[in-house]
Amino acid sequence: MYSLPQHKHTPNLHHKVCKNSSPFHPLRVCCSTTSTPKSNVKPLVIEPRLVPVVPRVITTIDEHRPINKDTDLQSTWSHRAWVTVGCTTLLISLGESIKGAMDSNMWVEPIIASWVGYILADLGSGVYHWAIDNYGDGSTPVVGAQIEAFQGHHRWPWTITRREFANNLHALARAVTFTVLPIAIFCHDPIVQGFVGVCSGCIMFSQQFHAWAHGTKSRLPPLVVALQETGVLVSRSQHAAHHRPPYNNNYCIVSGVWNDFLDKHKVFEAMEMVLYFKTGVRPRSWTEPAPEWIEEIETSSQIQTQ
Ligand SMILES: [Zn+2]
Ligand SMILES: [Zn+2]
């Protein structure tokens, strides 16, 4: 019988110290020796001494932290080219769906297929996000860069709002191009094209929806805020929960419609257990968050340097 950890993140020493409401620790030291007659034993006592507990602040200078001027956040012509090709692929797919629907005068089925594509895109974004948050590392074939990027996102979430559009979307645009373009060109079924076009479009733009989920309400376009508040796009509050301990929920980043269901029924935890029983690999969320997972708070001096 396997024993699984029930508490994913035990509080560390620092947390315990911070919870102590008293700013002072009483210190009591006793000392005795066997050569002294017991009746004369007078323990050496250092009575309560006021030792101030100063919260420990660890300041690190991480040269890998992306900043505004960092080229990591800027779009290159290669990024823009991939996003252009990805968008073209989506337009071909959706155009084929509309053309097929017009030719056959069949609208209901392609619309339903498109809606199913939108719903399943949210589920797909959650499964993919959960997988790269919990398994593999920078050396993992194909998705290693994505895994590193998401680890960096957990540490510096605010940088996604400063990442340029094509920089944020190019990896998914490339994936959409390779998987969807053959279907877009060779398939002429309006139902299939409706499903594929909308599903892959939502997947490709999920990183933009994700960036908006990190935005400030007053700075977001009113239409985006309205879509977030009506649940069409993942809400800011729902995604904020993903960036708080225990860091193991709210993985879906298209509409977030699946998040409640998946978290309430512990679907990802069940999948983690199955993988653990089958392979012995533990997900990152079972262990205390590594420094890479803990959000660094942006200081005013850091803002000023950007
Ligand atoms: Zn995440
Ligand atoms: Zn995020």
In contact, 211 and 160? CB cutoff 8 Å: yes
Ligand 1 centre from 5 Cα, in Å?
A: 21
Query: What is the pLDDT, as a whole number, of residue 97?
Result: 97
Assigned domain for 142 exists? yes
Which ligand is nearest the CA of 212, by number? 2
Ligand 1 centre from 87 Cα, in Å?
A: 25
Which ligand is nearest the CA of 253, by number? 2
Instruction: Write out the two tokens for 181.
Output: 């373009």
Ligand 2 centre from 178 Cα, in Å?
A: 26
Instruction: Write out the two tokens for 199.
Output: 């599903």
Query: What is the pLDDT, as a whole number, of residue 287?
Result: 84
Query: What is the pLDDT, as a whole number, of residue 174?
Result: 96
Assigned domain for 57 exists? no
- Per DSSP, the three-state class of 114 is helix
Assigned domain for 91 exists? yes
Assigned domain for 237 exists? yes
Ligand 1 centre from 131 Cα, in Å?
A: 9
Ligand 2 centre from 56 Cα, in Å?
A: 28
Which ligand is nearest the CA of 285, by number? 1
Amino acid at 185: I
Q: What is the pLDDT along the chain (306 residues), one digit of tens a residue?
A: 443 333 344 333 333 333 344 444 444 443 444 444 444 545 544 444 444 443 333 334 344 555 555 678 999 999 999 999 999 999 999 999 999 999 999 999 999 999 999 999 999 999 999 999 999 999 999 899 889 988 889 999 989 999 999 999 999 999 999 999 999 999 999 999 999 999 999 999 999 999 999 999 999 999 999 999 999 999 999 999 999 988 999 999 999 999 999 999 999 999 999 999 999 999 999 885 666 556 665 544 444 434
Strand runs (DSSP E) across 151-296, as ranges? none
Assigned domain for 101 exists? yes
In contact, 236 and 228? CB cutoff 8 Å: yes
Ligand 1 centre from 165 Cα, in Å?
A: 19
Q: Is the peptide bond before 110 cis (omega within 30 degrees of 0)?
A: no
Report d(CA 212, CA 233) in Å as an integer.
9
Report d(CA 54, CA 57) in Å as an integer.
9
Q: pTM above 0.85?
A: no
Ligand 2 centre from 194 Cα, in Å?
A: 29
Ligand 1 centre from 60 Cα, in Å?
A: 23
For 25, list phi and psi in degrees, rounded to 5. Answer: -105, 125
In contact, 2 and 277? CB cutoff 8 Å: yes
Assigned domain for 224 exists? yes
Instruction: Write out the two tokens for 228.
Output: 């977030």
Ligand 1 centre from 89 Cα, in Å?
A: 28
Query: What is the pLDDT, as a whole number, of residue 66?
Result: 53
Number of structural domains (the chain) is 1
Give residue for tokens 């257990």: 273
User: By residue range, what is the domain housing residue 246?
Assistant: 76-304
Give residue for tokens 């699946």: 258
Ligand 1 centre from 129 Cα, in Å?
A: 6
Assigned domain for 84 exists? yes
Ligand 2 centre from 111 Cα, in Å?
A: 30
Those residues whose C-beta lies under 8 Å from the C-beta of residue 18, and which sit 6 or more positions away, are 55
Assigned domain for 81 exists? yes
Report d(CA 35, CA 116) in Å as an integer.
85
Those residues whose C-beta lies under 8 Å from the C-beta of residue 221, and which sit 6 or more positions away, are none
Instruction: Write out the two tokens for 263.
Output: 């978290």
Strand runs (DSSP E) across the chain, as ranges? 24-25, 51-52
Query: What is the pLDDT, as a whole number, of residue 275?
Result: 97
Query: What is the pLDDT, as a whole number, of residue 288?
Result: 59
